[in-house]
Amino acid sequence: MKKTGVILLSMGGPDSLEAVQPFLYNLFSDHDLIRIPRPIQKPVAWIISKVRAKKTRHYYELMGGKSPQKDQTLEQAKKLQELLGERYKVVVAMRYWHPFTEEALDELFKEEIEKIILLPMYPQFSTTTTGSSFREFDRVYGRKNYPKVPVVKVRDYHDHPLYIKAMVENIKESLGNWKDYFFLFSAHSLPVYVIKEGDPYKDQTERTVELIMEHFPEVPYRLGYQSKVGPIKWLEPMTDELIEELAKEGVKRIAVIPVSFVSEHSETLYELDIQYGKLAESLGIEDYKRVPTLRTHPTFMEALKEIVLSAEREDG
């Protein structure tokens, strides 16, 4: 039986402490993400990864010795496979650590595949995330001797009704007395020059937040950004700076909601939970809660199923 292949695209993370430096090297070697001049990018990436590895390794020690992103994305793939049924084959391709795109394609073509759907685990499109994964797929798929079949690329689903519904349900289920909180949404920051070049990430992230907040009309909220690297200008305001501002304004209960992440990794488990959690405590915030990422939330999995089916229908 011919099948439709579905490849979940994600960043990936080190699956052991020994993988931290090679993971960082792969990340800083990606010109779509970090624009170091190409002739020197790999040597510079090696130096940066060597310097940053020790500090970053400590983050992962606090998180249990590895990033949970791979395991959680594989679990998402398993759930989606169950929902889609045997006419589909769902695999995972990580951008910076195993399983890489080539490994995903090798696994996919163990079956007779008639079409491929690329499904990013980034609800909001950016050239630095989804775009980079698409380009890596094109390079690997074009270079290797795989059967050539139609490829459908899902660019984003930042405003998909079921994705928004999943976010709303997740917030309510996680907080219970959600009306008592100030909602602080946090998204991964990007260099401002990327946005100025036309990247839709900022607008799409803001739209996601607007659609979520239609379900919480009386709750005050802000959107912040996190995880900037280096001296260039990044999207602001930064999440930690907003926590400081809110504390000065007398806010005592903050619910931090990751809006550009669908699985847990260092940005949520270390940065939001540990780093910003300690900051909030030091500033006198009495109740700091972090809403978990969607992971395999049933409504989110239904959203992914519908996105796949819709992409297949639109492609004919």
pLDDT digits (tens, 9 = 90+) for 7-53: 999 999 999 999 889 888 888 888 877 788 888 888 988 888 888 88
Token pair recorded at residue 288: 């700091």
Q: What is the pLDDT of residue 279?
A: 98
Using DSSP's 3-state secondary structure scheme, residue 70 falls into: helix
Q: What's the CA gap between 104 and 146, in Å, rounded?
A: 12
Specify whether the CB–CB gap between 224 and 205 falls below 8 A. Answer: no
Q: What's the CA gap between 259 and 208, in Å, rounded?
A: 8
Q: What is the mean pLDDT of residues 153-172?
A: 98
Q: What is the pLDDT of residues 134-144, one digit of tens each?
A: 999 999 999 99
Q: What is the pLDDT of residue 31?
A: 84
- As to burial, measured by CB atoms within 10 angstroms (0-12 exposed, 13-18 middle, 19+ buried), residue 316 is exposed
- Which of these, 93, 120, 94, lies nearest to 107 by C-alpha position? 93
Domains of the chain in start order, with CATH, are: 17-62 (no CATH), 161-290 (3.40.50.1400)
pLDDT-based confidence at 313, cuts 50/70/90?
confident
What radius of gyration, in Å, describes the C-alpha atoms of the chain? 20
Query: In what order do the strands lie in the sheet containing 221-226?
Result: 221-226, 182-188, 253-258, 287-290
For helices 161-175 and 201-213, the axis angle rounded to 10 degrees is 60
Token pair recorded at residue 91: 């695999």
Q: What's the CA gap between 217 and 225, in Å, rounded?
A: 22
- What are residue 42's DSSP bridge partners? none
- When mean pLDDT is compared across 23-32, 165-174, 178-187, 266-275, the lowest value belongs to 23-32
